[in-house]
Amino acid sequence: MSKICVLGLGYIGLPTASMLASAGHEVVGCDINAAIVASINSGKSHFDEPDLEMLLAAAIKTERLRAQSTPSEADYFIIAVPTPFMDGKRPDMQFVEASARSIAPLLRPGDTIILESTSPVGTTERIAAMLAGARPDLHFPRHTDETSPPGHVRLAHCPERILPGNMVRELVTNDRVIGGMTEACAEAAAKLYATFVRGDVFLTDCRTAEFVKLVENSYRDVNIAFANELSLIADRLDIDIWHAIELANKHPRVSILSPGPGVGGHCIAVDPWFVVDSAPDESRLIRTAREINDGKARYVFERIAKSMHRLRNPVVACYGLTYKPDVDDTRESPALEIVQHLAEKTDARLLVCEPNLEALPPGLAATGRVELCDIDAARIAADIVVFLVAHRQFRKINPNQFLSKIVIDTVGLMHSPQRFAAGMTPSRPARMADEAILKGTQT
């Protein structure tokens, strides 16, 4: 069992620190936010995530995890701080750099530093060079090194891959990619992950691991952009996009994702820009996908604004504010952006139904224009109903209750396949005959 210092107790650092503590390690978690440190030391998470509260409470109770505002000496340092982008969509590495600076005085020969934060290609090497400058008394790996002799500090990138809403399970079950500055660096990091990961662990170099993480999120962004572009085309051609995608996905090699009001969250809406920034001329598809997904919220806003023209004193009910279903996170949320625009640019009375939030996000509350209400109150008062997030509470809604409303459904909640497919499904005997042909059993 090792002594571990986790820097950053946010969406990735906190589940990781709690999981490491539950695997028996002695873990110190650091965060610059004093309120977060206090909340964690009392066993309470500062965000909602299934099973995290239980894992954290156990880690605090057994005293295997404690939070503090500065780092301490450890065998392993895990950097899990945010990497947002600045104006001009350039990566903002200030938190990663500050974390590296904060651990420099604490490093001892043979320690291992693991960068989990999603980072542009070359970041792990830059941290190694920075630390080598700060601690000339220690040996750090260089990208030309074949190996790291015992006593050298080890550096690796092990990008996080967990899905908000399913983080605790995915921490254990997901495969991991570990990129070392040298093979010995990757192996040192892998030894730690082997204590709680049940998926496979693949070793590579740090540049490849950095790239792989960015590729994963860009892949998803490009595929969502395809679905969003289809939704715009279908609107123009007056076709039900949900029905069209459902039918296209019956092809054995087609699997189109779902359109929505845009792409939110702190990962997929951000990380592809790191690729564009490092290879602008070559990243044409990735850039276009980002632009399509970013443009979708504006398109939805304009559709709502247009539908108001016919009404006097319209009442608009918006269902959902978070960046995706069944989470309480509103970062980069397209739903929030749309409602914020409605509050700032229209005179409509605005009602918002968001079962995952107890209060409006501060920026929206500051407009003084939005009332938080429950599902039925919003429906009864509304002329225009806008579905922005497919929360589980909304998935139970009966579409017939909205027949007298103008409905703008960005997430397919009102789509009912039976209505469209009635009479189209092959009868049971016909299906059985098809299956028999496939199996070669028909005479």
Contact residues toward ligand SAJ (CB under 6 A) are 118, 160-164, 216-217, 220, 224, 257-258, 260, 263-265, 267-268, 323-324
3-state secondary structure of 132: helix
Q: Name the minimum Å distance from CB 235 to ligand SAJ.
A: 16
Backbone angles phi, psi at 94, to 5 degrees: -60, -35
Neighbours of 175 (CB within 10 A): 11
Q: Name the minimum Å distance from CB 145 to ligand SAJ.
A: 29
Strand bridging mode 65-68 / 26-30: parallel
Which is closer to ligand SAJ, CB of 258 or CB of 307? 258
Host H or E run for residue 301: helix 284-308
- The one catalytic residue in 5, 185, 267, 318 is 267
- The one catalytic residue in 213, 296, 318, 324 is 213
Backbone angles phi, psi at 147, to 5 degrees: -150, 170
Q: Name the minimum Å distance from CB 8 to ligand SAJ.
A: 13
CA 216 to chain centroid: 12
Which is closer to ligand SAJ, CB of 188 or CB of 390? 390
Length of the chain as a residue count = 443
Which is closer to ligand SAJ, CB of 292 or CB of 315? 292
The residue among 176, 110, 105, 100 whose CA lies nearest residue 141 is 110
Q: Name the minimum Å distance from CB 409 to ligand SAJ.
A: 14
Q: Name the minimum Å distance from CB 323 to ligand SAJ.
A: 5
Q: Name the minimum Å distance from CB 16 to ligand SAJ.
A: 12
Which is closer to ligand SAJ, CB of 128 or CB of 414? 414
CA distance 397 to 215: 37
| Token digits of residue 408 | 């703008």
One-character DSSP codes across 350-399: EEEE-TT-SS--HHHHTTT-EEE--HHHHHHH-SEEEE----HHHHT--G
- To the query of whether residue 213 is one of the catalytic residues in this protein, the response is yes
C-alpha count within 13 angstroms, C-beta hemisphere, residue 372: 14
Q: Name the minimum Å distance from CB 414 to ligand SAJ.
A: 17
Which is closer to ligand SAJ, CB of 61 or CB of 395? 395
Which is closer to ligand SAJ, CB of 180 or CB of 262? 262
- To the query of whether residue 373 is one of the catalytic residues in this protein, the response is no
Q: Name the minimum Å distance from CB 317 to ligand SAJ.
A: 20
Which is closer to ligand SAJ, CB of 31 or CB of 271? 271
CB 154 within 8 A of CB 107: no
CA distance 1 to 24: 6
Angle, vertex CA 299, rays to CA 257 and CA 284, nearest 5: 60
3-state secondary structure of 189: helix
CB 162 within 8 A of CB 126: no
Which is closer to ligand SAJ, CB of 41 or CB of 166? 166
The residues, any chain, with a CB within 8 Å of residue 322's CB and separated by 6 or more, are 264, 328, 329, 330, 333, 335, 336, 354, 356, 357, 389, 391
CB 61 within 8 A of CB 43: yes
Neighbours of 65 (CB within 10 A): 29
Active-site annotation, residues: 213, 267
